[in-house]
């Protein structure tokens, strides 16, 4: 397939692998932000193509994984109501809450529906005026435009029985939070190409300069990632700390301006709690004052719902790049995709799921 096969070429992968081996003279630790990139790295065995001194650690770029436990419990509480049709993308249904997941609610008779677009949820609200229809709005900047459009559409059509449960999170504040930690091992980032397709990459320049880390906007295929790693290692070896764009076929410096405009109209930046990590200031989107009536947390008055993480799950330190999934004593035994303790084991972008499915069960 044109524009895909060439980025999965073994010859091209070996070429960039050789280039990385040629320039690497020191040990370096790089973090890929996106969980989709993590899956490609593990599935394709990219780490086997790298010099022994180049270490890849896995970041918090899985929105399912970082959605806080309290939000999952709020979703379950809403979905359990007889007057609600709860809609979501399929990847949220098996994420564990404190006691159960959304799939359990569905199995018990709750009207929980998988949709492929938030606009589908708006149509469901139109067709079911006697029900409250809620869409679980989870994701990074990538999914924010469609979710914002759904809210704007409901407003435009005068639909009063639609709301969203928002758990949107933002990448740059998370990067700063990681780099600000005294325990941080990260010396360079591979930034998520789909996020930058929406937002551009201007906001990464201050981070690269302040923390003296190269940031390379990177795609999701094996050759994309090896080229991105090469670009990051080359900067590190040369003592440069710049933002570079490997994913130029999709990402421009300014990003998608119409998408940014609809985000800015419907959402406002808020503090957000990240599952396993804690609160990061100004790291999420909440509904702006104009659209606050579409906020499911306010519609259903759920401020009193709180939850505590399992003390046995080390997902937080895995997503901070401090440990790998196989460092967790629960990995592959107590915690499996069928019986997940933490969200990274069940999410299709979770690092633990990647290690489990692709057989990376122990350190090499």
d(CA 247, CA 130): 46
Q: For residue 157, what is the DSSP state?
A: H
Residue 268 bridge partners (DSSP)? 286
Domain 1-364 has CATH 3.40.50.11740: yes
Determine contact, residues 245/190, Cβ cutoff 8 Å. no
C-alpha Rg value of the chain to the nearest Å: 21
Determine contact, residues 57/181, Cβ cutoff 8 Å. no
What's this model's pTM, rounded to 2 decimal places?
A: 0.93
**pLDDT attached to residue 4:** 81
Taking 70 as the pLDDT cut, the residues of the chain under it are 1-2, 360-364
Q: Decide the pairing of beta strands 278-287 and 267-274.
A: antiparallel
User: Which pair of structure tokens corresponds to residue 246?
Assistant: 């490997």
Residue 257 bridge partners (DSSP)? none
Domain ranges of the chain: 1-364
**pLDDT attached to residue 9:** 92
**pLDDT attached to residue 363:** 46
**pLDDT attached to residue 364:** 40
**pLDDT attached to residue 49:** 93
């Amino acid at each position: 397939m044109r524009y895909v096969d060439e980025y999965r070429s073994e010859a091209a992968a070996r070429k960039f692998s050789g280039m990385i081996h040629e320039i690497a003279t020191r040990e370096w630790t790089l973090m890929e932000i996106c969980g989709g990139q993590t899956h490609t790295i593990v599935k394709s065995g990219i780490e086997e193509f790298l010099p022994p001194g180049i270490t890849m650690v896995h970041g918090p770029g899985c929105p399912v994984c970082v959605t806080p436990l309290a939000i999952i419990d709020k979703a379950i509480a809403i979905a359990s109501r007889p007057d609600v049709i709860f809609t979501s993308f399929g990847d949220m249904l098996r994420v564990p809450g404190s006691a159960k997941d959304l799939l359990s609610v569905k199995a018990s008779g709750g009207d929980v529906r998988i949709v492929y677009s938030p606009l589908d949820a708006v149509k469901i609200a139109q067709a079911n005026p006697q029900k409250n229809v809620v869409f679980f709005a989870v994701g990074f900047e990538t999914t924010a435009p469609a979710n914002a459009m759904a809210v704007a559409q409901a407003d435009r059509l005068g639909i009063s029985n639609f709301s969203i449960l928002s758990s949107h999170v933002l990448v740059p504040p998370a990067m700063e939070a990681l780099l600000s930690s005294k325990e941080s091992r990260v010396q360079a980032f591979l930034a998520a190409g789909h996020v930058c397709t929406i937002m551009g990459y201007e906001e990464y320049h201050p981070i690269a300069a302040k923390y003296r880390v190269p940031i390379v906007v990177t795609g999701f295929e094996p050759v994309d990632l090896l080229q991105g790693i090469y670009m990051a290692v080359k900067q590190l070896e040369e003592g440069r700390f710049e933002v570079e764009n490997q994913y130029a076929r999709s990402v421009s410096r300014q990003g998608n301006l119409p998408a940014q405009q609809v985000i800015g109209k419907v959402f406002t930046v808020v503090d957000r709690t990240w599952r396993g990590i804690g609160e990061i200031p100004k790291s999420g989107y909440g509904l702006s004052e104009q659209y606050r009536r579409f906020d499911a947390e306010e519609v259903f008055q759920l401020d009193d719902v709180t939850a505590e993480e399992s003390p046995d799950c080390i997902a937080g330190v895995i997503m901070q790049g401090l440990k790998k999934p196989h460092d967790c004593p629960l990995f592959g035994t107590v915690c499996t995709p069928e019986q997940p303790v933490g969200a990274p084991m069940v999410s299709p972008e979770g690092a633990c799921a990647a290690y489990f499915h692709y057989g990376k069960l122990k350190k090499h």
